[in-house]
Amino acid sequence: MPTPRESQIDAVLLKLPGVSTRKLKGLHAYFVSDRMFACISGNGVGLRLPVTVARELHFSRDNVVPFQPAGLPATKEWIQIDRADAADYEKDLELFRQSLDFVKGGGR
């Protein structure tokens, strides 16, 4: 059963076309075309974006950090957006759409 935070984030992401959710290695993850584009980790949501977009967000927003679930090494395409109130992820809907399109297109 999803936590209240997961349910709030589900409400934002599951309304995007073609998005499904399932657990992957203990993480509440979001998929498009059977590829993960976002997942909940700690106090944030990790998402995969083109390297240039991820780098720009990392340096331009104070609530964006490298995505390192369970202490794994960070990668250039994954960032984490931290928000105290999960309902505020609605403000990041355009970034989630970019991530979905990027992953759906094969990550290029």
Identify the CATH number of the domain in which residue 94 sits. Answer: 3.90.1150.30
> pLDDT at position 91, please?
96
Q: How many domains does the chain have?
A: 1
How does DSSP classify residue 16? S
pLDDT of 38: 97
Q: Which residues, 6 or more positions from 21, have their beta carbon under 8 angstroms from its beta carbon? A: 10, 13, 14, 28, 29, 30, 31
| Residue 93, domain extent | 4-104
Q: What is the pLDDT of residue 51?
A: 96
pTM listed for this prediction: 0.91
> Which residues does residue 30 pair with via DSSP β-bridges, in sequence order?
21, 38
Q: Tens digit of pLDDT per residue, the chain (108 long)?
A: 788 999 999 999 999 999 999 999 889 999 999 999 999 998 899 999 999 999 999 999 999 999 998 888 888 999 999 999 999 999 999 999 999 999 999 876
